[in-house]
C-alpha cells in the first residue's frame, strides 16, 4: 500500500492529509514510488499493490495526469502486479482515464455525494472494481445507504479506517466487525492500524480476506518470514 502525493510516496497518518510528508522507510532511503515498490517486492512477492492518488482524491490544482507515468513504469517493472487504484473516481469520465488491464479501480465512499451518483457510475462499469468504505477519525465518509445496504457492494470491500492508518495502534475491530456482519460473499479487506503478524493472524481468524499494509513494512515490523508463513 502506498500513498502518492506530487509524485512521491508519503507517510499517511491518521487521515490528516495536510500533515503527510515523504515516507521515511527502513527498507530504502528513497521516497520515490518505483523504489518503494522494488523494496516491497524484495521483501515479499506481493501480487496486488494498492495506490492512493492523493492529488486526484483531493482534486488538487496540479492533479492533471501526474501519476499516470508512475503507474506505467511500475507495471513495466512488475507486469504481474495488479494495482488497486483509488484516484477519487466518482464518474464515468474519471474511470475512463484508467483503462489498463493491470489496474482495478477503487471507488472510495468519500468521493460520492449520494447513492445515486454511485449507482450511476457502477451501472456503467464493465470491469470488476473494489469499494472502499472510508472512515475518518470522527465518522463514516460517504452516502449512508452505501454503508448500510450490502446490495450496493461489489465482490471486494475495503474497511478503510483512516484514524488507524500509520498510527501503529491496531485495527479498529468494531468497524471491521460491523462490515463483516453485513457482508455476504464479499471479501472484506482491512486497512489501517496493522502492526505485526499477530494482527494479521487475528484478522484471518475473523475471516478477513486480506489486509492493506504500509507502516508495518516500512518499520520492519513484518518480516519476509512472517509473510511467507502467512501465505503458506
Q: Once rounded to an integer, what is the mean pLDDT over residues 38-42?
A: 97
Q: How confident is the model at residue 16 (pLDDT cuts 50, 70, 90)?
A: low
Mean pLDDT of 139-155: 96
Q: Which residues contact 78 (CB under 8 A, 6 or more apart)?
A: 37, 41
Q: Where are the alpha helices (DSSP H) in the chain?
A: 33-43, 54-57, 68-77, 92-95, 115-122, 144-148, 173-182, 197-205, 215-218, 224-231
How many CB atoms within 10 Å of residue 221?
17
What the chain holds in terms of domains, given with CATH numbers, is 2-231 (3.20.20.70)
Return the SS3 of 74. Answer: helix
Q: Is the pLDDT of residue 15 over 60?
A: no
Residue 140's SS3 state is: strand
Q: How far is CA 178 from CA 26, 57, 115, 165, 211, in A?
A: 34, 25, 20, 18, 16
Choice between 167 and 58, residue whose per-residue pLDDT is larger: 58
With 80 as the cut, is the pLDDT of residue 13 above it? no
> Whole-angstrom Cα distance, residue 212 to residue 154?
18
In the predicted structure, residue 63 carries a pLDDT above the cut 60: no
pLDDT above 60 (res 32): yes
- Quote the radius of gyration of the chain (alpha carbons, Å): 17
197 Cβ contact list (under 8 Å, min separation 6): 222, 226, 229, 230
Encode 110-149: b = buried (16+ Cβ within 10 Å), e = exposed. bbbeebeebeebeeeeeeebbbbbbbeeeebbbbeebbee
The pLDDT value given to residue 211: 94
Per-residue pLDDT band at 65 (split at 50, 70, 90)? low
| pLDDT, tens only, 66-124 | 688 999 999 999 999 999 999 999 999 999 999 899 999 999 999 999 999 999 999 99
| Per-residue model confidence (pLDDT) at position 137 | 79
pLDDT attached to residue 21: 83
Share above pLDDT 70 across residues of the chain, in percent, rounded to a whole number:
94
Whether pLDDT at 33 is above 70: yes
pLDDT confidence of residue 20? 73
Q: In the predicted model, what is the mean pLDDT of residues 121-143?
A: 94
Mean predicted confidence (pLDDT) in 174-196: 93
Residue 110 gets which letter from DSSP? G
Distance CA 163, CA 135 (A): 7
Question: Is 47's pLDDT higher than 60?
Answer: yes
Amino acid at each position: 500500500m502506498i500513498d502518492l502525493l506530487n509524485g512521491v510516496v508519503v507517510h499517511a497518518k491518521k487521515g490528516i492529509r495536510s500533515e503527510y510528508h515523504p515516507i521515511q522507510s527502513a527498507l530504502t532511503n528513497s521516497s520515490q514510488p518505483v523504489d518503494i515498490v522494488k523494496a516491497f517486492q524484495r521483501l515479499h512477492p506481493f501480487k496486488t499493490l494498492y495506490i492512493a492518488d492523493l492529488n486526484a482524491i483531493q482534486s488538487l490544482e496540479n492533479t492533471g495526469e501526474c501519476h499516470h507515468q508512475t503507474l506505467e513504469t511500475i507495471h513495466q517493472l512488475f507486469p504481474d502486479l495488479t494495482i488497486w487504484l483509488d484516484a477519487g473516481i466518482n464518474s464515468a469520465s474519471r474511470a475512463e482515464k484508467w483503462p489498463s488491464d493491470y489496474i482495478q479501480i477503487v471507488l472510495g465512499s468519500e468521493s460520492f455525494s449520494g447513492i445515486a451518483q454511485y449507482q450511476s457510475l457502477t451501472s456503467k462499469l464493465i470491469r470488476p472494481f473494489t469499494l472502499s468504505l472510508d472512515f475518518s477519525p470522527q465518522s463514516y465518509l460517504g452516502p449512508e445507504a452505501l454503508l448500510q445496504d450490502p446490495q450496493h457492494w461489489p465482490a471486494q470491500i475495503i474497511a478503510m479506517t483512516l484514524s488507524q492508518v500509520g498510527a501503529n495502534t491496531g485495527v479498529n475491530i468494531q468497524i471491521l466487525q460491523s462490515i463483516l456482519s453485513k457482508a455476504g460473499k464479499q471479501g472484506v479487506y482491512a486497512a489501517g492500524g496493522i502492526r505485526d503478524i499477530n494482527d494479521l493472524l487475528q484478522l484471518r481468524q475473523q475471516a478477513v480476506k486480506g489486509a492493506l499494509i504500509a507502516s508495518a513494512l516500512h518499520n520492519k515490523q513484518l518480516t519476509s518470514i512472517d509473510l511467507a508463513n502467512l501465505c503458506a
